[in-house]
Structure 1
Amino acid sequence: MDKKSTKVKIVMTANPREIVGKSTHSLRKSGVVPANIYGKDFESLTISVDLKEFVDTFKTAGETNVVYVKVSDKEIPTLISEIQIHPVNQSILHVDLRKIDLKQKIEAQVPLVIFGESEAVEVKHGILLTQMTEITIESLPSDIPNEISVDISTLNEIGDVIRVSDLPKIDGVEFKEDPERMIASVTEHKEEELVPETVSDEPEIIGEDGKAVVPEGEEGSETPTKESDSEEKN
């Protein structure tokens, strides 16, 4: 099962940008996001986009649908390739858009979405391990799926795996990963053995010199015998 990209044309308005570097801080304060369009045989273009419009566009397009950036009366077909986020306040700092040729195949990262119920997990109490969350594909921009679903209902026994080669074929889409690479697997649930701590029954006594004091009569200490006592008295 897969979800192909929407056929609705997505257009985002942008303006040419001359402000660069640290000066872009003033743009962000006014609700504008600095961005850049780059691509093969394409001269990089610095632009600015309204923050709200970009957020709405990204919610619709994600990273797999074509976004036509309208700037200076031209519509440039792009894919959103990278969004830089502030590490503290999570605000959008910068956006990179990749200019594409609609008639040429490109590589893209598509999310993998797990669905279904596994007998090995639900009945036999195995642990589901997910080794991949996205997959590299190659296709025409219009054929890029929004996501690719992975059905785990085929995992019936402990040790069962789903590999790239197990994914259903999608018209116009080629998987660019090792066919033997694992996507998901089920492993045995093992209880951790708790080793009790050994606690001494007697408290350790520390002398004035900072060394442990060994009580008289314990192993390692010499206790005079009655015979030695009598010898001393003699």
Structure 2
Amino acid sequence: MAEVLQVEKRDLLGSANSRRLRNSGRVPAVLYGHKQDTEHLAISQADAESIVRHHAKIVELQGAVTETALVSSLQWDPLGIEILHVDLQRVDLSEKVEVKVPIRFRGEPVGARHGGIVVENVHEVEIRCSAVTIPEYVVLTVLDVDAGENRSAGDITLPEGVELLTPVETVVYTIEIPKGAKDAGTGEEGEAGE
């Protein structure tokens, strides 16, 4: 079920007015897309935080505007604490949208148990699917990854109707062999050769 946001229109634009708006407990937002006019809106700080807390991708706007929208992006303050601005894109629930979703890595890899170092190279992938079926995350099972091996975006398990847009060869997960293990092995061989 989509998150419901109460919105009001804002006529005063610019950074000073946006700062005043944030000081009053509201966050500036913009709604665009579908070849319609851009709407300048304000939502409560609590609603903006709810979007983050629930990982909402699709929201229902009520109040000054009644629309279904995709949360396109959130702009944060330099410390990543306060939401400064919300970009919303109009969406038809039957149309396909392109979004980024986080990757969840499942299982304890065999390589980590053998002393390998886990490196999560990529934390999200871009997908295309209908607006109503956007997954909260996608899963990559890493149980059988050994030291010196990796997994790519093409190894991710995708829900039905979801298409991967990130190149399939993009390495998202690696188990590196510790440098000490490599050096110790070559060092012993070098001494034996002498």
Using structure 2 for the length normalisation, give the TM-score: 0.85
**1:59 correspondence with 2:53:** yes
Spell out the pairing of 1:178-193 with structure 2 (5 A cutoff).
Answer: 178-191=167-180
Shift of 1:88: 4.9
- Cα deviations by residue, 1:169-214 (Å, 9 ceiling, x for unpaired): 4211000122222111112111298xxxxxxxxxxxxxxxxxxxxx
**1:128 correspondence with 2:118:** yes
Cross-structure match for 2:190: none
**1:20 correspondence with 2:52:** no
Distance 1:152 1:89 in 2: 30
Cross-structure match for 1:139: 129
Determine if contact 1:63/1:81 at 8 Å carries over to the other structure. no
Distance 1:87 1:9 in 2: 29
Which among 79, 95, 101 is matched to residue 104 of structure 1? 95
Distance 1:90 1:18 in 2: 26
Q: Which has the larger radius of gyration?
A: 1
Determine if contact 1:12/1:67 at 8 Å carries over to the other structure. yes
Q: Which consecutive aligned stretches of 4+ in structure 1 deviate over 6 angstroms post-superposition?
A: none
Spell out the pairing of 1:2-21 with structure 2 (5 A cutoff).
Answer: 8-21=1-14
Determine if contact 2:139/2:157 at 8 Å carries over to the other structure. no
Determine if contact 2:73/2:86 at 8 Å carries over to the other structure. yes
Aligned to 1:43, the other structure's residue is in SS state coil
Determine if contact 1:128/1:187 at 8 Å carries over to the other structure. yes
Q: Count residues in correspondence.
A: 181
Which among 159, 174, 177 is matched to residue 163 of structure 2? 174
Report which of the two has the higher share of helix. 2
Cross-structure match for 1:118: 109
Q: Which amino acid in the other structure matches residue 9 of structure 1?
A: A
**1:153 correspondence with 2:143:** yes
- Cα deviations by residue, 1:82-136 (Å, 9 ceiling, x for unpaired): 22222258322211111112111011001011221011111x2011122211000
Query: RMSD between aligned alpha carbons?
Result: 1.9
**Structure 1 residues 169 and 87, CA, compared in 2 at 3 Å: closer, same or farther?**
closer
Shift of 1:12: 0.7
Determine if contact 2:2/2:56 at 8 Å carries over to the other structure. no
